[in-house]
Structure 1
Amino acid sequence: MNSTHINTNAAAKFAADRNDPRNGKMIGGHGADRWHNLIISNTAIGLGSRMHGHKSEIYIGNMRVALPTGLFCFPDIAVVNGEPSFTDQASETLLNPSVIVDIFSNNSDSVEKSRKLENFLAMDSIKECLQIKQDEMRVEHYARQNQKQWVYRIYNERDDVISLDSIGCKISLQEVYAGVKLRPVPLHSRAVN
């Protein structure tokens, strides 16, 4: 992985508060509601139960990840396949996540979501990224094919199964959304002549 310049003084300043990049600045994170937390738990438990015995680690919510821009973020879930690499011996800032999972609601800022995704996909270590909607059954899956090419898949059926090949795990939408109250999705009809 390319070397990343990290200002450890700035990192320490923001360590107590979740921050995400936006417009080249650090912004304070917001609290998550019941459904957001339930999706995180469901996903981490589903992946963790299948990774038992693998040389992998799962970090939930509070693991700071260094971005190629020199900024930091706190994804909802970060998975490392293999030996984790950190900026220092305190193991506070992860350099090499393999899989990132972020949960979003309809109220999430689409620009923020896009910028975070761009930052994640720019990391050499990232092999897969999931963006999970918390208020409707929809998971967007980005899987790296090579340095410049990603495969994009959308899962939106209860029986759909997401295959995270980079860590050798599969998880169903049924597991991800277990116990989560989803908003009804309006039906769109078109007149056919």
Structure 2
Amino acid sequence: MAIAQTNPPNLTSDATKTRFTPDEYRAIEETAEDRHEYCNGGIIAMSGGSPTHSRITVDITTFLNVAVRDTNFQVYNGDLRIWIPSFNHGTYPDVLVIDGEPEFNADRTDEILNPLLIVEVLSPSTEAYDRGEKFRKYRSLASFCEYLLVSQTEPYIEQYHNLDRQSSDRWQWQVYDGIDRAIVLHSLNIELPMSEVYRRINF
């Protein structure tokens, strides 16, 4: 994911306005040409990703969608927003998987509350955010139990897996380094080969 700037211009007729309600944000997002995150009153514009970022995201989404097509798991791309109630935060992950039917935020059909697996393809401008604050916020969601941080500069993926679904503080860290490895996705009970993640990427 890539973030461009905070409080982008021309979002409101009030040029001095820097805080927005969730409903104001949603109204802006429905007509905006670009996507934005919502962070407890602030709006953050998201810039476009690189061709490599896009290619990796598409290949992960495609592989997972085929792998779980005969199960209760459902795969979504970055068009579906995750809402994190504890932090009043709305964000777009690169890939997410849910178990069963989506749980939507109130009467919204574009904000999901129950991600199981989340994948973020790292960008230089957002890597620290994806590893730190964003991961912390994701962990407040009871359904969330697996997180992949995917490098786009080398075949390298970090995996975080919750060892205790009744707790949010027992996460195991695993590194997958090298194109011949395969990631064991505990939440889906499948393996994701690194060669599928990076199948058309030349390093």
1:45 to 62, 76, 101: 62
User: What amino acid is the match of 1:52?
Assistant: R
**Structure-to-structure mapping, 1:10-159, within 5 angstroms:** 10-15=25-30, 16=32, 17-20=34-37, 25-67=42-84, 68-105=86-123, 107-113=124-130, 114-146=132-164, 147=167, 148-159=169-180
Same amino acid, percent of matched pairs:
26
Q: Distance in 2 between matches of 1:65 and 1:135?
A: 26
Distance 1:21 1:163, change over 3 A: farther
Q: Distance in 2 between matches of 1:122 and 1:171?
A: 26
Is the CA contact (8 Å cut-off) linking 1:135 and 1:181 kept in structure 2? no
Is the CA contact (8 Å cut-off) linking 2:99 and 2:116 kept in structure 1? yes
Q: In the alignment, does 2:192 pair up with 1:174?
A: no
* Range 72-81 or range 85-94, more displaced: 85-94
Is the CA contact (8 Å cut-off) linking 1:22 and 1:115 kept in structure 2? no
Q: Secondary structure at the match of 1:54?
A: coil
Deviation at 1:90, TM superposition (A): 4.5
* Structure showing greater relative contact order (alpha-carbon pairs closer than 8 Å, 6 or more residues apart): 1
TM-score by length of 1: 0.83
Distance 1:33 1:110, change over 3 A: closer
* Range 13-22 or range 46-55, more displaced: 13-22
Q: Distance in 1 between matches of 2:152 and 2:127?
A: 14
1:186 alignment partner in structure 2: none
Deviation at 1:21, TM superposition (A): 5.8
Is the CA contact (8 Å cut-off) linking 1:138 and 1:154 kept in structure 2? yes
- 5+ residue gaps, structure 2, are 1-20
User: What amino acid is the match of 1:122?
Assistant: S
Deviation at 1:169, TM superposition (A): 2.1
Q: Secondary structure at the match of 2:161?
A: strand
Is the CA contact (8 Å cut-off) linking 1:132 and 1:138 kept in structure 2? yes
Q: Distance in 2 between matches of 1:8 and 1:21?
A: 11
User: What amino acid is the match of 1:36?
Assistant: H
- 5+ residue gaps, structure 1, are 1-5, 183-193
Deviation at 1:157, TM superposition (A): 1.2
Runs of 4 or more consecutive aligned structure 1 residues displaced over 4 Å after TM superposition: 21-24
1:39-78 superposed Cα distances (whole Å, 9 cap, x missing partner): 0111111111110111121110111100130110000011
User: What amino acid is the match of 1:83?
Assistant: E
User: What amino acid is the match of 2:140?
Assistant: A
Distance 1:57 1:27, change over 3 A: same
User: What amino acid is the match of 1:112?
Assistant: Y
1:70-128 superposed Cα distances (whole Å, 9 cap, x missing partner): 110000011111121001445110110101001013x2334322211221122211010
Distance 1:30 1:84, change over 3 A: same
